[in-house]
Amino acid sequence: MPGRKQGGRRVRRLARIVLLALLLGPAALILAFRFVPVPITALMLIRLAQGYAPHHDWVPYRRIAPALPRAVIASEDDLFCSEPLGIDAGALWDQADAWLHGRRPRGASTITMQVARNLFLWPARSVLRKTLELWLTPQIAVLWPKRRILEVYLNSVEFGPGIFGAEAAALHWFGHRAATLTPDEAARLAVILPDPLHWSPLPPDPWVAARAALILRRGLALGARLDCAR
């Protein structure tokens, strides 16, 4: 009996340690990544296991053409600068309502939520992943300024099979650095973000070109709503 009790205490102690690591580990990494480049993400490791060798070159925000953050905000999250906790509550509620009524939920991921997912989680949709995403996102939103969130996002988001970040994407698709991306090239990169394994900015598919033109117009219309990206 004493041995069984000791074994039970060890299991409980181990469970507490694991729970503490799960709670504090991501927060510690989030705090560290506020200051240092992100060397690798969970999504990069997943793609590596799937056979896609990651191509990833970190560059500072100042070495990314301003057209790219403007395009991704216009395409992915036009309320980015005004979301204090990195969550679009209205879009999230619509997604939950669709799920509860048996409809296929539409995407409700903000840029900050995508950062949380890319860094720590997996791409497949599930209630567990979304719950963890909602737990991590406010931590990032509180600990990082908006420019840092954009910097990490643009350096870690996937722009093609194994193509991570603006610099690798610009070199792979257009043959030059992220600093010299044109507005049209930036818009075409933003177009493929929802499905980078299957969509391509080249050749200029009519749908991609039309969507890129729409993103360009949206970016111009955002005006002061882009202030945090400048």
Per-residue pLDDT, averaged over 139-168, amounts to 97
Per-residue confidence (pLDDT) for residue 98, from 0 to 100: 56
% pLDDT > 70, the chain: 82
In a shared domain, residues 153 and 207: yes
In a shared domain, residues 19 and 123: no
In a shared domain, residues 108 and 1: no
pLDDT exceeds cutoff 90 at 106: no
CA angle 80, 89, 157 (to 5 degrees): 40
Per-residue pLDDT, averaged over 200-217, amounts to 92
In a shared domain, residues 115 and 141: yes
Predicted confidence band of residue 26 (pLDDT cuts 50, 70, 90): confident
Residue 113, amino acid: M
- Provide the whole-model pTM: 0.87
Per-residue pLDDT, averaged over 160-188, amounts to 97
Which two three-digit tokens encode residue 70?
Answer: 């403007």
CATH number of the domain residue 185 falls in: 1.10.3810.10
| Mean pLDDT rounded to a whole number for the chain | 88
In which residue are the tokens 């409809």 written? Answer: 103
pLDDT exceeds cutoff 80 at 116: yes
- List, for residues 56-67, the tens digit of each pLDDT value: 999 999 999 999
Element (H, E) at 10: helix 2-33
pLDDT exceeds cutoff 80 at 22: no
pLDDT exceeds cutoff 80 at 42: yes
Question: What is the domain count for the chain?
Answer: 2
Per-residue confidence (pLDDT) for residue 108, from 0 to 100: 65
Closest C-alpha to 41, from 97, 118, 111: 118
Angle between helix 206-222 and helix 183-191 axes, rounded to 10 deg: 110
In a shared domain, residues 66 and 136: yes
In a shared domain, residues 140 and 28: no
In a shared domain, residues 96 and 4: no
Predicted confidence band of residue 55 (pLDDT cuts 50, 70, 90): very high
In a shared domain, residues 206 and 119: yes
In which residue are the tokens 């963890």 written? Answer: 132
pLDDT exceeds cutoff 70 at 14: no
pLDDT exceeds cutoff 90 at 125: no
Among 15-29, 37-51, 122-136, the range scoring the smallest mean pLDDT is 15-29
State how far the Cα of 184 lies from the Cα of 136, in Å rounded to an integer.
Answer: 33
| Residue 158 near residue 114, CB atoms below 8 Å | no
Per-residue confidence (pLDDT) for residue 41, from 0 to 100: 96
Per-residue confidence (pLDDT) for residue 204, from 0 to 100: 73
Per-residue confidence (pLDDT) for residue 8, from 0 to 100: 60
Closest C-alpha to 159, from 184, 204, 212, 195: 195
In a shared domain, residues 144 and 175: yes
Between residues 8 and 74, the one the model is more confident about: 74
Q: Which of the 8 DSSP states describes residue 122?
A: -
In a shared domain, residues 166 and 119: yes
Sign of CA dihedral 11, 15, 17, 18: positive
In a shared domain, residues 133 and 156: yes
pLDDT exceeds cutoff 70 at 1: no
Per-residue confidence (pLDDT) for residue 180, from 0 to 100: 98
- Domain with 151 in it: 34-229
In a shared domain, residues 26 and 57: no
